[in-house]
Structure 1
């Protein structure tokens, strides 16, 4: 019995060591597990934090996207409202200046580009005589490009005229070396503006002015009287208020009108039917197309009804001193409604002009310094018209 008790105690000692070892291992394992659990909790917290941060960023981006979409919608709505407003203003502007019971004689368009001071002078001259006949001659300004001073000046007349703007970013390729790009841009602007007035606004006639011109007191009465001839006689291609040889020393009769075989320009009127013919074959530059008129002629006065003060422009003033500055503009108001202009019709003008020549009397020439100077000037004019007619016309459509 004593032997069994001794053997049992002998086994208790290893069992105690084993128990202690197992407890130590369990403690170590629990410590490692606790550390790993702590790391996992920390990782979970970090992951949760990152997730929340990502969710916040996504939410902010979504809010920004929503804000941008709402902003885009607002901008689209504002653009639509602005377009509607522009159309409404344009209609109201036309309604203010056009009497619905009266068909306009012609729209008047001032072609402008980048000379705000010139434009102001031209508009002042036109409004001086147009205001009383605004229902007959609705006024437009057509600007080529985006010069801010010209646009501001044009819009300042919002209750007296309608503003149009031509924006063209297409590159210009000249057909011949040395040509000025400006004349190609001018040609594009003219075609656009005339298409707008004839096709969009449906005017039957259009009078074209430039932003460096003043008009005579009877400018509008003259065109109203000529409009009837333009409609009646299809051999008349256009009516001009200009005489290339209208310098002060060469003209005296403000009542005299003539038919011309070449296009005078600088303040002229044409009809929708003529434009429908010309628009599809509009040239890339220069107005020489008007001289290819298929036997038709132009009406012009002896004394100009416009004056061109544009010393600075696309032509760089090269013709101003000799040919433009000395021009005489009519300064009396002729009652054109009381004038019988039937002599200008194709079947009567040849006889009328022959009568003028028949009544002409030879003038005795006194060869003085003054006469010689006059002859030189006349010779210069003839040479200019002979050698530079096309260039002259092109370089006097200025912006």
Structure 2
């Protein structure tokens, strides 16, 4: 028996040492992230000393008191922690895990930073992992978490002037991607604030060469997986192109948010032209997207933005709306949203998937009266669907609007619903016969808006064809709809297409009957 104990002595001692070191390391990590670690050693301090210079003792005391209170709920990981852990020989796998978590900050701390204008400033030029200049990063918000008062105030005070917002261009083998890139570069007010990153799929070298020709003006990244996409069995008439696109978007978003570490991004396709106030529009609406958790995107596109369906006046160019329909075609999202969507991203048809209630979760997008993007891509995976009837007639805004100098808080959920409802209630009710008569009259701008009800999806489609707008629905939502109401401009008047009084929410309609061509309406 003694011989047996001696035989396994080394293993017993080794196991004991491993257990002791593991417990010691765990205890040390708890110490690092505890209040004691922060207070006693200054580990994890969210404000570098250079950021605190010039503050009064009272201001410092107020900030420290608030931070200490918040540390009970949430700990802050800082770069100094990693240096201390590394110097103590902690397992590098633990460091990598902490690095993957990045740096965290509470809403209160973010508010303090916003007040001092120490905002997120991620710069991909600082390194492949996107090192932070100001060493601050917002923590992902929980679903529908209400924004802090300071964030609301920031949304009211104007754009996040130091926030770096990348433009992600999704490309494949379209050689006239240069048409899109030329406008993005020519209208860009600041290359540092708005880096252009082109993500290319397809592996087309001719297109890649054209993109590289822009030198430092753009950054090219290439999707490495060029294998044939996996298509589930039983799919009738599968279209591999849509599977490739969904795979590409997933990879590109991972690069933007997890490799370059941006906190928000604007997505454009390689067949989009942009308006001169494209950057101005997204700069001004970014604080709203951050502050209002009932929003999940900002889009530059109006699906019904044809000349006869929009207000082309100066007032129309300034008009922005909320919509339950995801427009796409030049849109902005945050890392928070990608954190939520990335784990369940679909294999194909990602845009229609995003419109489903399970993803939208009653959230909305901001969209303009007059589009800030216009597509020239007749040829593509969709084979020009809707292009000849609708898309090529979309008007691109040509009147620069200084959105960053305007108060856009009317778009916050707490303000928008009431004002929009009041506007609809003031509109005069008209019949379908009156709309038909109006269609034959001359265009006479009149201030009073009109409204007409639809009592079924079939009657909605009938109205849409008369007015010349897109009549399809996605997940039961008409294009541009807000609370079931579609807003259009027609023959000089604002018209609200309103659901029945019994309307309780969107439902997926039965398959539509065969549509007549618009020319027969």
TM-score, normalised with respect to structure 2: 0.53
The 2-side partners of 1:262 and 1:369 are apart by: 26
Q: Structure 1: where are the runs of 5+ without partners? A: 1-89, 391-399
Equivalent residue, structure 1, for 2:333: 270
1:284 is aligned to 2:347: yes
Equivalent residue, structure 1, for 2:362: 295
Q: How many residues align?
A: 297
The 1-side partners of 2:124 and 2:422 are apart by: 50
Deviation at 1:92, TM superposition (A): 4.8
With a CA cutoff of 8 Å and minimum separation of 6, indicate the structure with the bigger relative contact order.
Answer: 1
Equivalent residue, structure 1, for 2:194: 137
Equivalent residue, structure 2, for 1:385: 473
SS in structure 2 of the partner of residue 356 of structure 1: helix
Q: Sort the Cα spacing of 1:280 and 1:271 in 2 relative to 1 into closer, same or farther, 3 A.
A: same
1:121 is aligned to 2:179: yes
1:367 is aligned to 2:437: yes
Equivalent residue, structure 1, for 2:214: 157
SS in structure 1 of the partner of residue 471 of structure 2: helix
Task: Tell me, yes or no, if the aligned pair for 1:105 and 1:227 is still in contact at 8 Å.
Answer: no
Task: Tell me, yes or no, if the aligned pair for 1:108 and 1:138 is still in contact at 8 Å.
Answer: yes
Which of 394, 411, 417 is equivalent to 1:350? 417
Deviation at 1:104, TM superposition (A): 3.5
Q: Structure 2: where are the runs of 5+ without partners? A: 1-122, 135-160, 443-461, 479-521
Q: Sort the Cα spacing of 1:378 and 1:109 in 2 relative to 1 into closer, same or farther, 3 A.
A: farther
The 1-side partners of 2:464 and 2:340 are apart by: 40
Which of 167, 171, 174 is equivalent to 2:228? 171
Task: Tell me, yes or no, if the aligned pair for 1:104 and 1:137 is still in contact at 8 Å.
Answer: no
Equivalent residue, structure 1, for 2:268: 209
SS in structure 2 of the partner of residue 314 of structure 1: coil
Q: Sort the Cα spacing of 1:150 and 1:230 in 2 relative to 1 into closer, same or farther, 3 A.
A: same
Q: Deviations over 1:153-186 (max 9, x none)?
A: 1100121011100121333233411121000000
The 2-side partners of 1:123 and 1:139 are apart by: 9
Deviation at 1:223, TM superposition (A): 0.5
TM-score, normalised with respect to structure 1: 0.68
Task: Tell me, yes or no, if the aligned pair for 1:94 and 1:162 is still in contact at 8 Å.
Answer: no
The 2-side partners of 1:369 and 1:127 are apart by: 41
Deviation at 1:316, TM superposition (A): 1.2
Q: Which has the higher helix share?
A: 1
